[in-house]
Amino acid sequence: MKRVCGLLLLLAPALLSAQESANKAADRQVVRCESEDQQRAFCPIDTSGGVQLVRQLSKRDCIRETSWGTEEGAVWVSQGCRAEFARPRPVTRTTRRVVRCESRGRMEVCPVVLRGAPVRLLRQQSVLPCREGRSWGYSNREIWVSRGCQGQFEVGAEDGSGFVDIPRKVICESKGELRRECGVSVTRRVTLVEQLSSAACREGDSWGWDRNGIWVDKGCRGEFSAD
């Protein structure tokens, strides 16, 4: 089984010159992508920093990895999904140390030098849940995943100062009005930033959270902020 381990450095500028502002506007260029006759369509976009669904245009739900997703250099849509997509907005000047680790069903180990630094789940990328101690964990020299957990894991500072203190944006979607868990390590709280579904997102009823992540139900699809 192929093991996928990637070390990503995420840099987001806060103070921009006039030229940087122009570059930022270009980076945020919105791309419209439409699935006609239920067929899959591909639309070119820079995917190096990730892609977000900005606005759904179709009556059919656009759900990540079900009716839309990305591959290198393009976003794809299918099953009648029509929507606008863009790269995430830069937030502030910071650096996250991120390790990508993926399980295809069995345990996989991703070597990383931690030197006592803490690790938290930054973003779950699999449908199967990532829960610390059950389907992911870490030691001094590695991060491990199992049971189909695939995610990006943030490594904190070795000096004990912790993680980058910026809320993390997470999109969590209930497909077919079924409950789904979206793993992300939560320290303080989760808030709903934007409802993406026609079905209501009500905390405690169709969405909620615990220290291991966010859950949605009853067709709720939304963008959440975890910190």
Is the pTM value of this prediction over 0.85? no
pLDDT of residue 18: 35
Instruction: Say if residue 14's pLDDT is above 80.
Output: no
Half-sphere exposure of 184 (CA within 13 A, CB side): 26
Mean pLDDT of all residues in 88-104: 77
Average pLDDT over all residues of the chain: 83
Asked whether the beta carbons of 62 and 77 are under 8 A apart, the reply is yes
Instruction: Say if residue 55's pLDDT is above 90.
Output: no
Instruction: Say if residue 62's pLDDT is above 60.
Output: yes
**Both structure tokens of 28:** 């945020």
SS3 assignment for the chain: CCCEEEEEEEECCCCCCHHHHHHHHHHCCCEEEECCCCCCEEEECCCCCCCEEEEECCCCCCCECCCEEEECCEEEECCCCEEEEECCCCCCCCEEEEEEEECCCCCEEEECCCCCCCEEEEEECCCCCCCECCCEEECCCEEEECCCCEEEEEECCCCCCCCCCCCEEEEEECHHHCCEEEECCCCCCEEEEEECCCCCCCECCCEEEECCEEEECCCCEEEEEEC
- Structure confidence at residue 25 as a pLDDT band (50, 70, 90): very low
pLDDT of residue 162: 78
Amino acid identity, position 103: S
Q: Give the range among 5-9, 46-50, 63-67, 211-215 with minimum mean pLDDT.
A: 5-9
Mean pLDDT of all residues in 166-172: 86
- Structure confidence at residue 91 as a pLDDT band (50, 70, 90): low
Mean pLDDT of all residues in 139-155: 92
More confident residue, 28 or 165: 165
Instruction: Say if residue 20's pLDDT is above 50.
Output: no
| CA R_g for the chain | 18
pLDDT of residue 74: 94
How many angstroms separate the CA atoms of 38 and 3, rounded? 33
Instruction: Say if residue 136's pLDDT is above 90.
Output: yes
Mean pLDDT of all residues in 18-28: 44
How many angstroms separate the CA atoms of 176 and 190, rounded? 23
How many angstroms separate the CA atoms of 101 and 226, rounded? 21
Percent of the chain with pLDDT over 70: 85
